[in-house]
Amino acid sequence: MVHYRRNWIPGGTFFLTVALADRRSSVLADHIALLQMAFRNTKNLKPFAIDAVVILPEHLHAILILPPSDADYSGRWKSIKAWFTRGVVAIGEAPPRDHRGEYLLWQRRFWEHTIRDDQDLERCTSYIDYSPVKHGLVSTPAAWPYSSLHRYVRAGLLPADLGGLGGDDSGHFGERED
């Protein structure tokens, strides 16, 4: 078995990418309310803060901040995936199963990057904001409805139209090159 090296830092801030097994699917955006419920239920059991997030049709990016004595971002993703999968199954859209009977909705692994400093946080947040544009879903970041960008615009921390700023497209943050 492969043992992945993860950076376990209690109270850390982590950029994470989680993807569906079927990268042609749109189930995340199609069932955004179920995903929000999965996040809420997980936060109630295992607290964390979301600094930035974008939900795309078949994957999502998020920056999570964990409590000071906790480094278990992996357990949180497992919980979010499980809640969402149960919700999808409950509405009758059950994904296929493997030979063990497990649903094949999510990729088994996820990508994680430890945020090192304010500049790194800004770079990762910019990547999240511009991800819908990068994937050709919209022409400006503010046009994508499933992004924490809107929270920062409402708070007056970011301008409503980021289209002219240009995004930071350096790095791929766990995404597959198409």
DSSP state of 57: S
Check if 146 is active-site.
yes
Q: Of the listed 127, 130, 146, 152, which one is catalytic?
A: 146
Judged by DSSP in three states, 166 sits in coil
Supply the DSSP string of 86-133, one letter for each residue: HHHHHTT-PPPB-TTS-B--B-S--EEEE--SHHHHHHHHHHHHHHHH
CA angle 140, 144, 149 (to 5 degrees): 85
Q: List the catalytic residues.
A: 146
